[in-house]
């Protein structure tokens, strides 16, 4: 079956099938979702070359204008978004986007940039990496878990699975279980993250904003918004993040990104507050392209998750509409 799939994909590329898919989706807007960028820029450069060769880069402000009856977007429009505000966007991602004159929108977790905290899933990865324990017994709610910690790559995968499980509980439960994990692993979490997980500095944000980079809000602390029960806490996460980024930039912030971003992570109350907070667009992590017709909700825009290390053929199929993930 895998051989058959490989043969079909090879045929798509060699016989021009990719072009047919691309033409079919020419009026759809592709919003790409990146997170981090490694020092090796070769993969990202190839992706930028592909975007420039077959697509038309646009900004999220252009997408917003088109959704609100402004100028229409060109065919094969692609918008670049980057979540969280890691500093490796500045050092490893932005140089490629600048070289190819591709605009980008970066969604900032405001407490992360204020150095009040660092991203909670990275803290879990850190704890798994630096524990001296070989076997750990975790009590995550009603579930007991015994883990044998092995090679670094195995630990990273275990940390990822634990973090993923914490996106399905309330915010209070996540905080409690995270503290339990740190206690069991016997690791003190430092105030500042390692360089690989460092946040942008506000001065760097202002410098990037003078280039071809827009900035949006991504909450204060990156909780799963649907897991927050109190409206006041929801508004604190959404609106205070917006105000904080505006304060540093000295300009309106009109784009929002839902943490985790699945439909289950949003919900009607979060949608309502986001609409009331002065944003023009909000992006999810639901996979797909966006048709800019009358039925398109600017507060539930779909995205295509990408990584700079994706093979060129896979990246091409994703943007053409052959696949959604």
What pLDDT score was predicted for residue 139?
87
User: For the chain, how many residues are written?
Assistant: 325
Q: Identify the band that residue 295 occupies on the pLDDT scale cut at 50, 70 and 90.
A: confident
Mean local confidence (pLDDT), 270-291:
96
With both helix axes pointing from N to C terminus, report the angle between 2-14 and 312-320 in degrees, rounded to the nearest 10: 70
* Judgement on whether residues 181 and 313 belong to the same structural domain of the protein: no
* Judgement on whether residues 79 and 198 belong to the same structural domain of the protein: yes
For residue 137, list its beta bridge partners: 146
pLDDT in tens, 139-180: 888 888 899 988 999 999 999 999 999 998 888 999 999 999
Residue 60 domain-assigned (yes or no): yes
Residue 15 has pLDDT above 70, yes or no: no
Residue 7 has pLDDT above 50, yes or no: no
* Judgement on whether residues 271 and 297 belong to the same structural domain of the protein: yes
> What is the C-alpha to C-alpha distance for residues 92 and 40, in angstroms, rounded to an integer?
8
Q: Identify the band that residue 229 occupies on the pLDDT scale cut at 50, 70 and 90.
A: confident
* Judgement on whether residues 215 and 256 belong to the same structural domain of the protein: yes
What pLDDT score was predicted for residue 142?
83
Nearest to 119 by CA among 159, 79, 60: 159
> What is the C-alpha to C-alpha distance for residues 69 and 292, in angstroms, rounded to an integer?
10
* Judgement on whether residues 37 and 139 belong to the same structural domain of the protein: no
What pLDDT score was predicted for residue 219?
98
What pLDDT score was predicted for residue 10?
54
Contact 50, 315 (CB under 8 A): yes
Residue 36 has pLDDT above 90, yes or no: yes
* Judgement on whether residues 271 and 126 belong to the same structural domain of the protein: no
Q: By residue range, what is the domain housing residue 94?
A: 2-116+194-320
Q: 183 φ, ψ to 5°?
A: -65, -45
Residue 294 has pLDDT above 80, yes or no: no
> What is the C-alpha to C-alpha distance for residues 145 and 220, in angstroms, rounded to an integer?
31
* Judgement on whether residues 152 and 219 belong to the same structural domain of the protein: no
* Judgement on whether residues 65 and 126 belong to the same structural domain of the protein: no
* Judgement on whether residues 37 and 104 belong to the same structural domain of the protein: yes
Mean local confidence (pLDDT), 283-312:
93
What pLDDT score was predicted for residue 88?
98
Q: Identify the band that residue 27 occupies on the pLDDT scale cut at 50, 70 and 90.
A: very high
Q: Identify the band that residue 5 occupies on the pLDDT scale cut at 50, 70 and 90.
A: very low
Count up the domains in the chain and report the number.
2
Q: Which two tokens stand for residue 84?
A: 């969280």
Residue-averaged pLDDT of the chain: 92
Contact 319, 21 (CB under 8 A): no
Q: What is the DSSP string of 36-60?
A: ---S--HHHHHHHHHHHHH-EEE-H
Residue 19 has pLDDT above 50, yes or no: yes
Residue 325 domain-assigned (yes or no): no
3-state secondary structure of 253: coil
Mean local confidence (pLDDT), 112-141:
94
Mean local confidence (pLDDT), 202-231:
95
Q: Of the candidates 137, 160, 185, which is a domain's last residue?
A: 185
Residue 231 domain-assigned (yes or no): yes
Share of the chain above pLDDT 90, in %: 83
User: Would you put residue 311 in left (φ > 0), alpha (ψ -120 to 50) or beta?
Assistant: beta
What pLDDT score was predicted for residue 4?
42
Mean local confidence (pLDDT), 196-204:
97
Asked whether the CA dihedral 219, 220, 223, 226 is positive or negative, the reply is negative
Q: Which two tokens stand for residue 9?
A: 């994909």
Q: What is the DSSP string of 103-169?
A: -EEEEE-HHHHTTS---HHHHHHHHHHH---SEEEEEETTEEEEEE--SHHHHHHHHHHHHHHGGGS
3-state secondary structure of 285: strand
Q: Which of 200-204, 244-248, 320-324 has the lowest mean pLDDT?
A: 320-324
Q: Of the candidates 168, 185, 202, which is a domain's last residue?
A: 185
What pLDDT score was predicted for residue 64?
96
* Judgement on whether residues 154 and 244 belong to the same structural domain of the protein: no
Helix (H) or strand (E) holding 311: none
Residue 181 domain-assigned (yes or no): yes
Kindly calculate the radius of gyration of the chain based on its CA atoms and give it in whole angstroms: 20
What pLDDT score was predicted for residue 243?
98
Q: Of the candidates 161, 185, 209, which is a domain's last residue?
A: 185
Record the pTM. 0.93
Q: Which of 68-72, 88-92, 137-141, 241-245 has the lowest mean pLDDT?
A: 68-72
* Judgement on whether residues 104 and 21 belong to the same structural domain of the protein: yes
Residue 253 has pLDDT above 90, yes or no: yes
* Judgement on whether residues 302 and 203 belong to the same structural domain of the protein: yes
Residue 44 domain-assigned (yes or no): yes
Mean local confidence (pLDDT), 287-315:
93
CATH number of the domain where residue 30 is located: 3.20.20.370
Mean local confidence (pLDDT), 46-53:
97
């Amino acid at each position: 079956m895998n051989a058959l799939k490989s043969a079909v994909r090879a045929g798509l590329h060699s016989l021009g099938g990719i072009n047919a898919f691309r033409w079919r989706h020419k009026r759809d807007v592709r919003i790409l979702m990146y997170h981090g960028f490694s020092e090796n820029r070769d993969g990202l450069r190839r992706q930028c070359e592909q975007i420039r060769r077959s697509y038309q880069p646009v900004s999220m402000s252009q997408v917003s204008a088109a959704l609100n009856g402004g100028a229409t977007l060109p065919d094969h429009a692609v918008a670049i978004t980057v979540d969280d505000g890691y500093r490796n966007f500045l050092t490893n991602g932005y140089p490629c986007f600048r070289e190819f004159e591709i605009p980008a929108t970066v969604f900032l977790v405001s407490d992360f940039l204020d150095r009040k905290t660092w991203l909670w899933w990275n803290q879990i990865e850190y704890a798994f990496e630096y524990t001296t324990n070989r076997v750990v017994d975790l009590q995550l709610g009603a579930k007991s878990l015994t883990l044998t910690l092995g090679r670094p790559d195995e630990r990273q995968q275990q940390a990822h699975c634990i973090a993923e499980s914490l996106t399905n509980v309330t915010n209070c439960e996540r905080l409690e279980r995270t503290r339990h994990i740190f206690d069991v692993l016997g690791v003190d979490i430092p105030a500042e993250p390692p360089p690989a997980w460092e946040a942008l500095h506000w001065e760097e944000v202002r410098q990037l904003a003078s280039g071809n980079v827009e900035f949006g809000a991504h909450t204060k602390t990156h909780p799963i918004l649907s897991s927050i029960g109190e409206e006041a806490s929801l508004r604190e996460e959404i609106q205070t993040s917006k105000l904080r980024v505006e304060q540093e930039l000295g300009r309106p912030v009109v784009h929002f990104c839902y943490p985790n971003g699945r439909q289950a992570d949003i919900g009607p109350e979060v949608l309502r507050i986001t609409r009331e907070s002065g944003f023009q667009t909000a992006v999810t992590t639901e996979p797909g392209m966006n048709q800019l017709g009358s039925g398109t909700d600017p507060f539930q825009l779909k995205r295509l998750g990408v990584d700079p290390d994706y093979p060129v053929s896979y990246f091409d199929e994703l943007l053409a509409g052959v696949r959604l993930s």
